[in-house]
Structure 1
Amino acid sequence: MRKTVWMVPLVGAAGVAAAWRARSGSRPGGRPDGRWLTVTVNRPVAEVGTEEKPPPPLDRFGDSVDVRIRPAPGDRGTELAVRPAGPAPEGTSSSLPARLAGEDPRQELRLALREAKALLEAGEVLRPDAPPTTRPTPAGKLIGLLDRRSGGEGVL
């Protein structure tokens, strides 16, 4: 009876994971199909660029990305969206373990999209000039590790 009680949550978790994977359009390897990475920029469409000539630093990717620029809903600026143009190389995935290990193929694209938003809105990419604390603490070391693993994106 005890084994049955412990098996129910495990089977339930496996079912939820399978349903999430099917709903999100992931392949068995974990790479999402055709997902756009999108930000809203507080600028008119004419100031953001065109799909043939995206804003820097997205322009360095050239033909390896698809770019979509259109007015944001509710007349609130411009929606800037990018995604890899071709299939991901074999053996790479965009899963959480790959992101934590710094091996996510879309990580560089996410960072470039955030930098493009900052350049268009503020004119520069703002970075902190000093660490938030002067002495190392256990929690600070953990946060530093997670920050390094996030690939400069600021999110895991």
Structure 2
Amino acid sequence: MSPGVAARAARAGGALVGQVRSSLGGSSSPAGASRPASGWLAVTVLCEPGALDPAALPAPLAELGDRIEVDVRPAPGDKGTELYARLRGRKARGGGSAGSRLTGNDAEAELRSALRRAKQLVEVGEVLAVDPAPHGKRSATPSGAVLESWTKDAPAAGVL
């Protein structure tokens, strides 16, 4: 099986597991992750509230342009700044369909990734990246294809 086919099969399997969990009343989200009906996603950024200007957003969010709404608020307990963003024109978060996630067209995943990258730019000055694959040529294995698929998709998934 080629690595591309194995990766697509792994993504399809993951989407299927999420659909089954959802239909059985389980959650495909990690424990404690809630899905607010408002659609707002948030990250807490370690900076003064005045340091983030909604009119001059960090590059990852600015690239989304008019597709998003942004709000900036002081974090509780003087713990930095809360940066909120949501997709325009969406009344409630749906998490994207399995098809949109499989094809890489999940707008909400793109927004989650942009929020995480914006947080890194503000706090560290650059977007940190890890290259988990060793250098050189290696033969593809089914488990390796699954791992590489998850590693590639990880920036667009997860909990904020």
Which of 1 and 2 has higher RCO (CA within 8 Å, sep 6+)? 2
Q: Structure 1: which 4+ aligned runs deviate by more than 3 Å?
A: 13-17, 132-138
- 1:137–1:14: structure 2 CA closer, same or farther, 3 Å change rule? closer
- For residue 146 of structure 2, the aligned residue among 136, 142, 147 is 142
> What is the CA deviation profile of residues 6-37 of structure 1, one whole-angstrom value per residue up to 9, with x for unaligned ones?
xxxxxxx85737xxxxxx88xxxxxx853111
What RMSD over aligned residues (CA atoms) do the two structures have, in Å?
3.1
How far 1:43 moved relative to its partner?
A: 0.8
| 8 Å contact from structure 1 (residues 102, 151) kept in 2 | no
> What is the CA deviation profile of residues 44-77 of structure 1, one whole-angstrom value per residue up to 9, with x for unaligned ones?
1112x22233222212222221101111112111
1:84 aligns with 2:87: yes
Larger Rg: 1
The two structures have a TM-score, normalised by structure 1, of 0.64
Query: What is the letter of the counterpart of residue 76 of structure 1?
Result: K
Trace 1:101-120 onto structure 2 (pairs within 5 A).
101-120=103-122
Return 5+ residue gaps in structure 1 as ranges: 1-12, 18-23, 26-31
Equivalence for 1:94: 95
1:16 aligns with 2:25: yes
- The percentage of aligned residue pairs carrying the same residue is 39
- 1:15–1:146: structure 2 CA closer, same or farther, 3 Å change rule? closer
| 8 Å contact from structure 1 (residues 69, 80) kept in 2 | yes
| 8 Å contact from structure 2 (residues 39, 90) kept in 1 | no
Return 5+ residue gaps in structure 2 as ranges: 1-21, 27-33
Structure 1 distance, partners of 2:104, 2:77, is 36
Equivalence for 1:20: none
Equivalence for 2:44: 40
- For residue 61 of structure 1, the aligned residue among 64, 69, 75 is 64
> What is the CA deviation profile of residues 117-137 of structure 1, one whole-angstrom value per residue up to 9, with x for unaligned ones?
110011001112451587555
The two structures have a TM-score, normalised by structure 2, of 0.62
